[in-house]
Amino acid sequence: MESADLHFQRKVRWHPLEIVFWLCTLLPFLVTPNYLSLASQIAITALFALSLDLILGYAGIVSLGHAAFFGVGAYTAGLLAKHYWSEPLTGLVLAALAAGLVGYATSHIIVRFRHLALIMLTMGFGLLLHEAANSASGLTGGADGLQGFKVPAVLGFRFDMFGRSAYAYSLAVLFVCFLVARRIVHSPFGLALRGIRENALRMPAIGAPSRAHLRKAYTIAAVIAGIAGALLTQTTSTVSLETLSFGRSADVLVILILGGAGRLYGGLIGAIIYMVARDQFSGLNPQYWYFWIGLLLVTVVMFLPNGILGGFARFFPRKT
Amino acid sequence: MVAQDIALELPRGARHALIGPNGAGKTTLMNLMTGMLAPDSGQIFLDGSQITREKPDDRVKMGLARTFQINTLFPQLSALESVTLAVLEREGNAHNWWRGLPRFGAAIDEAQGILDSLKIPSKKETRELPYGQQRLLEIALALATRPKVLLLDEPAAGVPKDESAALFDAIDGLSRDLTILFIEHDMEVVFRFASRIIVMVGGRILVQGPPDEIARDERVREVYLGKARLAA
């Protein structure tokens, strides 16, 4: 009979497949050196999906406006690099702070609603920010986006045209944020979030301040999304209005559902599949590549309701 | 559903049964007491302090816990995770996001102890537990909050009669310091456990008193016809 403490330790411990996964993220340096900028985009998208997983997969908050925080982070890092200084790490911190503030402010409204109203609210906030950035063209460059700045290097490594440093930087930030997210989901707070997802009605009856938990989760997710946005700005030296778009919010939701929500790795796997598929399909036929994404989404949702990773887990069950 | 003109006092350690026909407002009364519904008027006190405006989770922290008539559990958490969560919330540790769960060994052990005392398997996911054990887990979750007052809404609802004995043995084994109010339809159970019975009809308290008095009450007999006569 396994002891009570072991029941929890088993879930916290690193699975060998996790180590394999992270070692594989180093492969692009060796195997596909010409695709390092794509790899960097994937790492950034994976980080964005990871942030959504914290609220959707763990706390059960469905958001169709998560790009709001990605965009706030992207513009914060861009404006900072353009007008003040170009050191990227402080840029990340300030972008995280700005996105976290917006997340905390909106969380007070978000946590009061559920279901359809919640989806509409998150979407509404996303649209509001998008149009605000569009009309404030003096600050944001409007539809033309923000350009004319360059982030030269991080910790002495120069951003080169092959994207080597860009990928190394994005991957390192992704990994650090992943460690934080992993710690969160295996903490008491992470357990409370799962409790809210499993039964929001029961939580107050065991003395849980659900709304306070949700506000915190929403703010943390906003912070990580902001970091992802800032990474995109710094590695591409532009900020486009698209960072705030509804399309980006919808894409990240698709990515997370494809990969499997509530498993941390779902967003990562989903981002790899989605971005590589987009790269390949749009090479074949640039206009109709959403057809294939649509087909993939329908197939996965029909046959693997817990996403690709959920289907995978059925074949490799953890010992219980 | 309505409940009105309710005047009710639960002395410490008492075991009250709340009975009445369907739609009498029994669950509504529990929802009012626990703050899941807000009363239009009136006051609620716990241990001498007014709780009428406290939020449901704050009332739980003050020592007022409940269970639900329809299982209101965490299907994909194990029983141990569920009860550990309740313990962590009580300790004020559930906000902690920087330390791993295995480092809260005392909370985990306490949860395991509660589950052991009710003979609930702790490692299985809640949704995999037999129905009767899920009913027990309802009680385990409430106990983990260390209540002073425990409200049980039909604890044996849906449990076959031959299995409900274990459930009521468990309830019977609870600390005598614990004040209990339970809703129950089975008069045999009511008269076995209750030190006092409250009869609700049409949202009002019809009568309350010790079991023998209730058993003799003409109005109650009218409401319950055969059932109460049998039990008496």
Q: Is B60 in contact with A212 (Cβ distance < 8 A)?
A: no
List the beta strands (DSSP E) in chain B: 15-19, 45-46, 49-50, 64-66, 149-153, 179-183, 196-201, 204-209
Class of residue B227 by CB neighbours under 10 A (exposed 0-12, middle 13-18, buried 19+): middle
The pLDDT value recorded for residue A319 is 42
Count of CB atoms situated within 10 Å of the CB of A317: 7
The pLDDT value recorded for residue B221 is 84
Over the stretch A45-55, which tens digit does the pLDDT of each residue have? 999 999 999 99
- Put simply, the chain B residues between 9 and 38 with a CB less than 8 A from any chain A CB are 34, 36
pLDDT band at A285 (very low <50, low <70, confident <90, very high): confident
- Say if CB B46 and CB B54 are below 8 A apart: no
Nearest to A274 by CA among A250, A245, A246, A304: A250
- Say if CB A285 and CB A278 are below 8 A apart: no
- Say if CB B197 and CB B208 are below 8 A apart: yes
Q: Is A191 in contact with B102 (Cβ distance < 8 A)?
A: no
What residue type is A124 in one-letter code? G
Q: Is A189 in contact with B80 (Cβ distance < 8 A)?
A: no
| Helix H or strand E segment including A154 | strand A153-154
DSSP A265-309: HHHHHHHHHHHHHHHHHHHH-TTSHHHHHHHHHHHHHHH-TTHHH
Q: What is the residue whose two structure tokens read 């309701």?
A: A305
Over the stretch B116-140, which tens digit does the pLDDT of each residue have? 999 999 999 999 999 999 999 999 9
Sequence length of chain B is 232
Going from the C-alpha of B51 to that of each of A125, A184, A210, B62, B180, the distances in angstroms are 36, 34, 19, 9, 18
What residue type is A285 in one-letter code? N
- Say if CB B44 and CB B52 are below 8 A apart: yes
Q: What is the residue whose two structure tokens read 């195997």?
A: A31
- Put simply, the chain B residues between 55 and 84 with a CB less than 8 A from any chain A CB are 55-58, 60-61, 65-66, 68, 72-78, 80-82, 84
What residue type is A31 in one-letter code? V
Nearest to A206 among B78, B85, B101 (CB): B85
Over the stretch A141-179, which tens digit does the pLDDT of each residue have? 888 889 888 887 787 777 776 788 999 999 999 999 999
pTM above threshold 0.90 = yes
DSSP A180-194: HHHHHHTSHHHHHHH
Give the CA count within 13 Å in the CB-facing half-sphere of A181: 33
C-alpha–C-alpha distance, residues B81 and A199, integer Å: 13
Nearest to A198 among B58, B76, B102 (CB): B76
C-alpha–C-alpha distance, residues A12 and B199, integer Å: 51
Q: Which residues pair with B66 in a beta bridge?
A: B151
Chain A residues whose CB is inside 8 A of the B99 CB are 187-188
Mean pLDDT in chain B? 90
The pLDDT value recorded for residue A287 is 75
C-alpha–C-alpha distance, residues A269 and A257, integer Å: 10
Enumerate domains of chain B plus CATH numbers: 15-231 (3.40.50.300)
Taking the mean position of all CA atoms in its chain, how far away is CA B213? Answer: 24
Give the CA count within 13 Å in the CB-facing half-sphere of A12: 20
- Say if CB B185 and CB B24 are below 8 A apart: no
Over the stretch A55-90, which tens digit does the pLDDT of each residue have? 999 999 999 999 999 999 999 999 999 999 889 999
**Tokens representing B114?**
């509660």
The pLDDT value recorded for residue B228 is 45
Range among A216-225, A271-280, B171-180 rated most confident: A216-225
Taking the mean position of all CA atoms in its chain, how far away is CA B195? Answer: 16
Characterise A22 by phi-psi region: left (phi > 0), alpha (psi -120 to 50), beta (else): alpha
What residue type is B169 in one-letter code? D
- Say if CB A69 and CB A103 are below 8 A apart: yes
Mean pLDDT in chain A? 92
Give the CA count within 13 Å in the CB-facing half-sphere of A93: 5
Asked whether the CA dihedral B105, B108, B113, B116 is positive or negative, the reply is negative
Nearest to B84 by CA among A195, A99, A196: A195
Q: Is B101 in contact with A12 (Cβ distance < 8 A)?
A: yes
C-alpha–C-alpha distance, residues A222 and A211, integer Å: 16
C-alpha–C-alpha distance, residues A314 and B221, integer Å: 58
The backbone torsions φ and ψ at residue B193, rounded to the nearest 5 degrees and listed phi first, read: -100, -30
Tell me the shortest Cα–Cα distance from B200 to chain A, in angstroms. Answer: 24
| Helix H or strand E segment including A248 | helix A246-259
Does pLDDT of A320 surpass 50? no
